[in-house]
């Protein structure tokens, strides 16, 4: 049985990095620019008041959640489709993808829960909890990009 | 090419760190409506239900 040549075998690590980074960061570029306008939701009552200023924290959480979902989706899809080639670049990229697959939903669900709690009771305590959940999602997002960057740097350094 | 790698590393870090700033500095937007929130939840469930989103056993 002859082994099929790996189509990514000759792809330089820097090109692979650029490809992966593009899929991770493209959602960021598409979501640039979303400050608060009007419109405030109270989930417990289902009331949406279009005349009240939205919370910056809530809008930020909703946007970070959205772009994180896109980034996790793109990263996991790319990693799974090119696992063999990326494992040759560095196994860490697979480990990073596994973290996203295993913990990504938990982080996003925690962010949603904190957001809903804050929208129902806009207290300082709930704002602090939402900020913390937001930081966790941002951290996972940053880690994903950092892993890929570290891999590219390590493999490309002579 | 390798000389550019530190720059790429810094750029990627900067981009990741800048996400919240970009969001805060952009156009006005209200909170999601209940329908939009439901749409997001449906999309999230669909994405995490895909084969490539399942972790290794």
DSSP A26-81: HHHHHT---EE-EEEEETTTTEEEEEEEPPHHHHHHHHHHHHHHHHHHHHHHHHHH
Among residues A107, A124, A120, A119, which one has the least CA distance to residue A64? A107
Q: How many residue pairs bridge chain A and chain B with CB atoms within 8 Å of each other?
A: 151
Domain of residue A93, residue span: 55-158
Residue A157 lies in a domain: yes
pLDDT of residue A29: 47
Q: Are strands B28-29 and A35-36 parallel, antiparallel or unpaired?
A: parallel
Distances (CA, A) of B44 to A67, A68, A135, B18: 11, 10, 19, 24
Q: Which of B16, B18, B54 to mutate to test the interface with A (most CBs of A within 10 A)?
A: B16
pLDDT of residue A142: 82
Query: Cβ distance A118 to A57 under 8 Å?
Result: yes
How many domains does chain A contain in total? Answer: 1
Residue A138 lies in a domain: yes
Residue A45 lies in a domain: no
User: Is B47's CB within 8 Å of A36's CB?
Assistant: no
- Judged by average pLDDT, the poorest of A4-8, A79-83, A139-143 is A4-8
Residue A115 — pLDDT band, cuts 50, 70, 90?
very high
Provide the 3-class DSSP secondary structure of residue B15. helix
Q: Are strands A35-36 and A47-53 parallel, antiparallel or unpaired?
A: unpaired
Residue A1 lies in a domain: no
Q: At what angle do helices A124-156 and A13-30 cross, to 10 degrees?
A: 160
Q: Where are the alpha helices (DSSP H) in B1-57?
A: 5-25, 34-48
Distance from the A3 Cα atom to the nearest Cα atom in chain B, whole angstroms: 24
Closest A-chain CA to B48: A105
Residues of B in Cβ contact (< 8 Å) with A72: 47, 53
State the Cα–Cα distance between residues A156 and A83, nearest whole angstrom.
Answer: 19
Residue A133 — pLDDT band, cuts 50, 70, 90?
very high
Residue A64 lies in a domain: yes
Query: In this prediction, does ipTM exceed 0.85?
Result: no
What is the percent of chain B with per-residue pLDDT over 70, rounded to a whole number? 53
Distances (CA, A) of A63 to A4, A128, B38: 43, 18, 15
State the Cα–Cα distance between residues A110 and A48, nearest whole angstrom.
Answer: 22
Residue A42 lies in a domain: no
Residue A9 lies in a domain: no
Residue with tokens 């409506």: B33
Contacts for B31 with CB less than 8 Å, ≥ 6 apart: A39, A40, A41, A48, A54, A55, A58, A59, A62, A119
Using the Cβ of A59 and the Cβ atoms of chain B, whether some distance falls under 8 Å is answered with yes
Residue A71 lies in a domain: yes
**Looking at the partner chain, which of B6, B17, B56 has a beta carbon nearest the beta carbon of A153?**
B6
Instruction: Give mean pLDDT, residues A10-24.
Output: 56
Distances (CA, A) of A65 to A14, A30, A106: 28, 14, 12
């Amino acid at each position: 049985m002859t082994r099929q040549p790996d189509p990514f075998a000759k792809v330089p690590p820097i090109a692979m990095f650029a490809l992966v980074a593009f899929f991770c960061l493209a959602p960021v570029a598409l979501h640039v620019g979303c400050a608060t306008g009007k419109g405030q939701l109270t989930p417990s009552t289902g009331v949406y008041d279009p005349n009240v200023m939205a919370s910056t924290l809530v809008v930020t959480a909703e946007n970070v959640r959205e772009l994180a979902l896109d980034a996790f989706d793109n990263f996991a899809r790319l990693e799974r489709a090119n696992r063999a080639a990326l494992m040759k670049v560095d196994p860490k990229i697979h480990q990073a993808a596994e973290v996203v697959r295993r913990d990504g939903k938990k982080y996003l669900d925690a962010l949603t829960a904190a957001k809903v709690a804050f929208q129902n009771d806009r207290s300082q305590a709930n704002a602090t909890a939402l900020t913390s959940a937001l930081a966790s999602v941002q951290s996972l997002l940053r880690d994903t990009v950092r892993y890929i960057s570290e891999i590219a740097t390590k493999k490309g350094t002579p | 090419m390798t000389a550019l790698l530190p720059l790429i590393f810094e750029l990627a870090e900067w981009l990741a760190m800048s996400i919240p700033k970009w969001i805060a500095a952009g156009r006005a937007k209200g909170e999601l409506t209940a329908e939009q929130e439901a749409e997001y939840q449906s999309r999230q469930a669909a994405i995490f239900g895909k084969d490539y989103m399942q972790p290794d056993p």
